[in-house]
Structure 1
């Protein structure tokens, strides 16, 4: 964002200036007073007033106007689409595609949609009051991803999958409310006739009866891709084969799947763990292991600063070697996993460059 904030003023859009004013002087003043956003963010590492004032989840009921939600699975903010469509009580519709952080008629990876046509229909119905049938559309349209080895490249032009549409809502984690100090919880589930839940599938086919000690190398995460996929065809945003990062992680695998599995909503994992330092993190990745090549394809991931395991507003340092019961929610997913593949759950204590390293390895 810094490069956008530092752009020169445009003569057609710069308001409040006289015709003879020098735009270069305005630009120079802007640059001299520009402060990177990181400066503010580093001063507010907990959930305080700085974050609360612009957070919708403080009170969803304040939104009463119709809402059209657009998001992409390659974008950082795709999970917010799940949260909003679940909690808003106003007229709403959500479209969640495979895209990055761009408009869906031009974003990559594809397939793209006719976003302007969708927007005109929505505005005609809710703003102009034209009865064009838009209100009869199902509230959620999601591009179900079909992971495959052909997409294990940093640049992917188009994802394989299909569009699915329904009025039921995805699963929503209680953990989100708990760590943000909310007491509201809605136990809403999707219609299992349209798509099946297997998010509580037993991953481990063996039971671990002893503790496993693990410190991940700091370079764990180099196969992660860009957390905020920009959505341009020439940007290497896409996660690559995860086997390199899996080798630096503690992994659990399922048996081969006997039939296709459809996952939709928020996967989560419950862990009993301890730390050798007062600070630490845990990164959880859910991957699909392709049957023939054994390639590891990233499905979803979640990262938790362990000092925030109870609250993002009031973090607490860990007691060394004390066992904690931790729940980590991964990013929202909508995928169909093919028969014969396996699921792999990978745990690591570092995830560079997405997460800054701790002062001490843990």
Structure 2
């Protein structure tokens, strides 16, 4: 521990475990990272006797002191009582850790993580065996650090993560720029540069905060400077060499999450023991995620840790390669509490129980098993087609999930089956092959696979988008030759879904999907040849469900309210709306969210976040489309300490460039101590 930090950890005796509220982990270059630790009583050296135990390491920029405290407190005590040390570490420059945040999954972040693993393994309370766990950022870097093969790391549980940072994260998707590119840069512009807690670092908190602020950059700048799949995105994308990961990996996600592709991808490609789970959930841990049914994540995790960190013969390696929730009869709603369906298993993945089934998009707008007469149809979608798209990844089962697709289908080409006489069940990635031309060198296509209920309500089951310049890959895009037809294939996201008798299957195609993807520079008309050259391939499950042999039991958590309840000083709120200017042809998509002010009882820290996002577009032209992400974060403790950080990130889409700008303002009490403005134009690269 360093003398420059204020105090030794508070050692808190809990029911069946010991907690250290903060320790300092030294790095070779003199920086220190801040960690919160939960220890089994047997591993507490202050008890007189000590048994070394395995450790679970989680590594994030989201602040252990306040940001992830509720979910940490729902899980690490469970692990500690089961004989594991839990070590939750803040990445460099975040929370109370030294330094300045640099970039997501940077080489420094990953090498620091390896140092931390080796440091934990050397502690008297650790037996040298570690697992790494996390959702989203922590799920990403868990897999990435596993690929670096630190010797003490024996297993990983990765939730809501990816194997491909370019195509399956919040930045780009098949060459299309996602709106989450802007909104997440707004999040991190505020989250990454907040102040440390003076209760832990003492009077140096202000100098540490100013160091962070002075070292800040416009995070969106870096991401927009890499519009192709180049070395920037390949770094940390484990799909570039799956063989780098040799340890067992359990990969989990949900159908309402952006990261649904990673579990089956990992199960199919990792060379060692790899197991996959996809539930119905949003981007949350399975034991408190929506929609129900939830899964007992603690039980699942402990089986994994017991097998690979304690060498217990419990059959974890014999679990099915892929366990998936097959949803059915899902209706868009303002709050999806429960999703109808069942859990199934695929013992091996890829599975021989799944076969390709071809459907033809015919010029009479039917989706049929037989190809009709070839005929060309055209589509030029209004630029605001897509307002029912929902978020790239949903954190709540409300309007963040896709709405009724009939509104977006009004600006799309729509093909539909007859009413189904028997159920059709899919598990995997549908794909659509088309013969297409556009009247411009650049353009996008969006494809949605939809379940149409008997009353017409339409639920988006899966979707895919393609920047046509990226039709042959993301590394070296090539513009289209206007009015020249080419064969293209759009691969949709993973889905597990059962289309019921009495329902219909719909495929919708549009040249816009705003605001989920940013528009191309042109208001494009696409011409598509329908008939035998327009083929939808569905991954149909061939296992009979009449005797339920493919069904499995996924235990649900006993406690359906596992998160601690902190004192709520002011209530949270959220609103989302679309405003269409009938005389201006301008559409605005808006969201505003207030976390409310919360006080953490044990140390009195209060925090509140207020965010707003706005996207604006003209329905007839993409020129001048814009977006804005604004965040304000407050932190305080009684009357003795109060800070505020305000950030805003903006983008305007020009024909040849992205104009980006941003502001940061920091306040100590009500005194402004820092201000910075960013402005830059970045050339559009085949986008």
Give the TM bin, normalised by the shorter chain: 0.7 to 0.9
Quick check: 1:154–1:225 contact (8 Å CA) kept in 2?
no
Q: Which position in structure 1 is the counterpart of 2:211? A: 29
Per the alignment, in what secondary structure is the counterpart of residue 289 of structure 2?
coil
* Structure 2 counterpart of 1:130, from 312, 316, 322: 312
Q: Which position in structure 1 is the counterpart of 2:336? A: 156
* Structure 1 counterpart of 2:489, from 323, 327, 348: 327
- Report 1 or 2 for greater relative contact order, CA contacts < 8 Å, sequence distance ≥ 6: 1
Q: CA 1:226–1:20 in 2, change beyond 3 Å: closer, same or farther?
A: closer
* Structure 2 counterpart of 1:247, from 405, 410, 415: 410
Q: CA 1:276–1:78 in 2, change beyond 3 Å: closer, same or farther?
A: same
Q: CA 1:89–1:98 in 2, change beyond 3 Å: closer, same or farther?
A: same
Output the CA distance in 1 between the equivalents of 2:392 and 2:451.
Answer: 19
Please state how far the C-alpha of 1:287 moved relative to its aligned partner.
0.6
Does the alignment pair 1:317 with 2:479? yes
Output the CA distance in 2 between the equivalents of 1:304 and 1:323.
Answer: 16
Q: Which position in structure 2 is the counterpart of 1:191? A: 352
Q: Which position in structure 2 is the counterpart of 1:350? A: 512
Per the alignment, in what secondary structure is the counterpart of residue 212 of structure 1?
strand
Q: Which position in structure 1 is the counterpart of 2:523? A: 361
Please state how far the C-alpha of 1:248 moved relative to its aligned partner.
0.6
Q: Which position in structure 1 is the counterpart of 2:358? A: 200
* Structure 1 counterpart of 2:196, from 9, 19, 34: 9
Aligned pairs for 1:263-274 within 5 A: 263-274=426-437
Q: Which position in structure 2 is the counterpart of 1:211? A: 376
Output the CA distance in 2 between the equivalents of 1:168 and 1:72.
Answer: 20
TM-score of the aligned structures, taking structure 1 as reference length: 0.86
Quick check: 1:202–1:254 contact (8 Å CA) kept in 2?
no
* Structure 1 counterpart of 2:502, from 340, 357, 360: 340
Output the CA distance in 2 between the equivalents of 1:202 and 1:318.
Answer: 25
Output the CA distance in 2 between the equivalents of 1:200 and 1:37.
Answer: 43
What does the per-residue CA deviation read over 1:54-90, in whole Å, with 9 as the maximum and x for residues that have no partner? Answer: 1111111111100011111111111122211111120
Larger fraction in strand: 2
Q: CA 1:321–1:45 in 2, change beyond 3 Å: closer, same or farther?
A: same
Q: CA 1:253–1:208 in 2, change beyond 3 Å: closer, same or farther?
A: farther
Output the CA distance in 1 between the equivalents of 2:375 and 2:274.
Answer: 49
Q: Which position in structure 2 is the counterpart of 1:169? A: 349
Per the alignment, in what secondary structure is the counterpart of residue 213 of structure 1?
strand
Quick check: 1:289–1:344 contact (8 Å CA) kept in 2?
yes
Quick check: 1:197–1:264 contact (8 Å CA) kept in 2?
no
Please state how far the C-alpha of 1:166 moved relative to its aligned partner.
2.3
Q: CA 1:119–1:12 in 2, change beyond 3 Å: closer, same or farther?
A: farther
Per the alignment, in what secondary structure is the counterpart of residue 324 of structure 2?
strand
Does the alignment pair 1:107 with 2:107? no
Aligned pairs for 1:4-83 within 5 A: 4-10=191-197, 20-83=202-265
Output the CA distance in 2 between the equivalents of 1:88 and 1:198.
Answer: 23
Quick check: 1:154–1:239 contact (8 Å CA) kept in 2?
no
Quick check: 1:147–1:160 contact (8 Å CA) kept in 2?
yes
What does the per-residue CA deviation read over 1:255-307, in whole Å, with 9 as the maximum and x for residues that have no partner? Answer: 2222111101110000111011110010000111112x012211110000000
What does the per-residue CA deviation read over 1:10-53, in whole Å, with 9 as the maximum and x for residues that have no partner? Answer: 4577xxxxx55421232233233323432111100100000111
Per the alignment, in what secondary structure is the counterpart of residue 30 of structure 1?
helix
Quick check: 1:219–1:352 contact (8 Å CA) kept in 2?
yes
Q: Which position in structure 2 is the counterpart of 1:84? A: 266
Output the CA distance in 2 between the equivalents of 1:147 and 1:357.
Answer: 32
Please state how far the C-alpha of 1:202 moved relative to its aligned partner.
4.0
**Structure 2: tracts of 5 or more residues without a match:** 1-186, 362-366, 525-687
RMSD: 1.8
Q: Which position in structure 2 is the counterpart of 1:182? A: none
Output the CA distance in 2 between the equivalents of 1:198 and 1:289.
Answer: 22
Q: CA 1:20–1:134 in 2, change beyond 3 Å: closer, same or farther?
A: closer
What does the per-residue CA deviation read over 1:157-177, in whole Å, with 9 as the maximum and x for residues that have no partner? Answer: 22111111221224xxxxxxx
Does the alignment pair 1:288 with 2:451? yes
* Alignment: residue pair count: 330
Q: Which position in structure 2 is the counterpart of 1:94? A: 276
Please state how far the C-alpha of 1:311 moved relative to its aligned partner.
1.4
Quick check: 1:6–1:31 contact (8 Å CA) kept in 2?
yes
